Amino acid sequence: MTTLLLNGRIHSPSHPAATAMAVRDGVVAWLGSDDVGRSQFDDAEFVDLQGGFVSPAFVDSHIHLTSTGLLLTGLDLTEAASKQHCLSLLAEHVAAHPGQPIWAHGWDDTGWARDDAPSTAELDAVTGLAPAYLARVDVHSAVASTSLRDRVPGLPAVAGYDPQRPLSADAHHLVRGEARHLLTAQQRADARLAALDALAAAGIVAAHECAGPQIGGIDDWQELRATEHGVEVLGYWGEAAASAAQAKALIEATGARGLAGDLFVDGALGSHTAWLCEPYADAPQRTGNCYLEADGIAQHLIACTEAGVTAGFHVIGDAAVGAVVEAVTLLVERFGAPAVARCGHRLEHLEMVTAEQATMLGQCGITASMQPNFDALWGGDDGMYARRLGSARAALLNPFSLLASAGVPLAFGSDAPVTSINPWATVRAASHHQTPGSAISVRAAFAAATRGAWRAGGARDGITGTLVAGAPASYAVWDAGGGQARSESRNELELDVSAPADSVQRWSTDPRSRVPALPRLEPGDPLPQCRQTVHRGVVLYG
């Protein structure tokens, strides 16, 4: 059976003026104009798009699905404007769910007047005997009630412990694991389905789950693997390997696509746990945490490369990035750049990277899996980055243009529940970076959130993530309320990653450039609304 989509605006590099698309057996069969389509496919099922914009469906290159679902089904603290507001939201939740364990996410003290997180005593005053876990927005520290802390034997002796302040490092991982065990199987299942449904409703057909022993544990990952849903889940397991045999064994045991994702080299800037070369501006006695030493980084890369397995790390601070790039340099000397590139190694976040480091990563094809909404939330002259690092260091974070110009493959995601899963918000954030010169064009950002994310997950056929004949029919139909991009000269095609800041946010709509127009994504423009999401010809939403 052939389905013919008519009266639309099709985002296709091979047919930039296409208004119709035929789909057969889950594959794009043809693109062109309505009249030609009607004559060629007179026996097809006709679908009137009524002017809707059709794009390749999005892929989220870094997500935590169960935690994202728990944010949707549980206590959301992302809107807490102060410590007292946070405690008030918690009190309302406790009143509605008396005696039940509490899992909450999203408070961000850097946006509060006194930069003051709730204390254990303040939490106990609200929750009483109910175990309560309140993760900070970056999920690298959390406030935990006494009744939850008491469930972890020997907790005061563990790194990252504080009797009243938020827990970090190993103390946080232990308490988070205990809080996770208090969730029922039904709560976890409902959360996963809520997250997957939300992705489909956002025009996303695939997601890279970053699982691991310190994230959700093996049970959560295996439960997710067993979950039936149309959204495709590509899993990465964040556990270090010491040998090729161990790398292969971990892949076989977990069924993961690689030993990558959130294999922590360090933590996060907001929690003062990202590993820095110089101290934090607002905590001069601290340089963050190192969770994986240089020898372990190199050992893991060597083991995975020998096994032909994708390796990768969570890496944010400049000291952490430096340790990883040094290990990559040694890896290339040992195996050669082509052999390293074939493995599809990847780095998550990669917020503090120099031009020299970017060049090395580009030469051996290491993917940067990044979250543009980090800059939208925390960048700028008075954002969290500037508080933690000072304005000079903060201005160097998330340099998308630098990485793209060095040939580093980009893949964009949300790190949900840390930031919104809305993919158009991701594209807008990358193309409107708060530091002049760090943005990339809208079409480059769009590519990183579609075919770039597919490529990072191993789909390297050159067509997956695009709408061309022969490509998988994975697309979304949008109401693009912001309208189409204005026309630019053909020369704008070249102003993609290396042009001045005043031009990188423009893109070509000249049909000769074979680059079709995208919706306007200027600040204040309404983001496109998803009407329908289709993956390999199967409708997931709408």
Q: Are residues 171 and 278 in the same domain?
A: no
Q: What is the pLDDT of residue 350?
A: 98
Query: Which of these three, 181, 212, 247, is where a domain ends?
Result: 181
479-514 confidence digits (pLDDT tens): 986 545 433 322 332 333 333 333 233 333 444 555
pTM metric for this prediction: 0.93
User: Is the pLDDT reported for residue 237 higher than 90?
Assistant: yes
Asked if residue 259 lies in contact with residue 239, where contact means CB atoms within 8 angstroms, the answer is yes
Q: How confident is the model at residue 530 (pLDDT cuts 50, 70, 90)?
A: very high
**pLDDT at residue 113, as a whole number:** 76
Indicate if 28 and 161 belong to the same structural domain: no
Does residue 503 fall inside a structural domain?
A: no
Query: What's the CATH number where 80 sits?
Result: 3.10.310.70
Check pLDDT > 70 for residue 279: yes
pLDDT tens per residue, range 253-271: 999 999 999 999 999 999 9
Q: Dump pLDDT digits (tens) for 83-132.
A: 999 999 999 999 999 989 999 999 999 888 766 899 999 999 999 999 99
Asked if 9 and 155 sit in the same domain, the reply is no
Residue 141: domain span: 63-181
Supply the CATH number for residue 33's domain: 2.30.40.10
Mean pLDDT of 398-407: 98
Of 449-458, 463-472, 477-486, 521-530, give the lowest mean pLDDT range.
477-486
Neighbours of 243 (CB within 10 A): 14
Q: Does one domain contain both 88 and 237?
A: no
Q: In this structure, are 204 and 117 located in the same domain? A: no
User: Does 461 reside within a domain?
Assistant: no
Mean pLDDT is lowest, of 45-54, 117-126, 369-378, 473-482, for 473-482
Nearest to 404 by CA among 437, 460, 362, 434: 362
pLDDT of 509 reads: 41
In a domain, 500, yes or no: no
Average pLDDT for the chain: 92
534 pLDDT higher than 80: yes
User: What confidence tens digit (pLDDT) does each residue in 160-218 have?
Assistant: 999 999 999 999 999 999 999 999 999 999 999 999 999 999 999 999 999 999 899 99
**In the β-sheet with 167-168, what is the strand arrangement from edge to edge?**
75-76, 102-107, 132-136, 141-144, 167-168
Whole-number Å distance between alpha carbons of 50 and 467: 19
158 and 107, same structural domain? yes
The total of structural domains in the chain comes to: 3
228 lies in the same domain as 135: no
Q: What pLDDT was estimated at residue 26?
A: 97
Return the closest-CA partner of residue 198 out of 229, 222, 223, 219: 229
Give domain status of residue 504, yes or no.
no
Domain endpoint, select from 181, 201, 222: 181
Q: Are 135 and 225 in the same domain?
A: no
| Domain identity same for 19 and 112 | no
Same domain (yes/no): 472, 366: no
Can you give the CATH number for the domain in which 419 is found?
Answer: 3.20.20.140
Task: Assess whether 190 and 53 both reside in one domain.
Answer: no
pLDDT of 133 strictly over 80: yes
Q: Which of 128, 158, 181 represents a domain boundary (last residue)?
A: 181
Distance between CA atoms of 14 and 513, rounded to whole angstroms? 10
With cut-offs at 50, 70 and 90, classify the pLDDT of residue 19: very high
Mean pLDDT of 297-311: 98
Residue 158 lies in a domain: yes
Three-state SS for 234?
strand
Q: Do 531 and 390 sit in the same domain of this protein?
A: no
Which pLDDT value is given to residue 515?
58
SS3 letters for 32-78?
ECHHHHHHHCCCCEEEECCCCEEEECEEEEEECHHHHHHHHHCEECC
Q: Tokens 């372990």, residue?
A: 296
Rounded Cα distance, 241 and 224, in Å: 23
Residue 488 has a pLDDT of: 32
Pairing mode, if any, of strands 132-136 and 102-107?
parallel
| 505 occurs within a structural domain | no
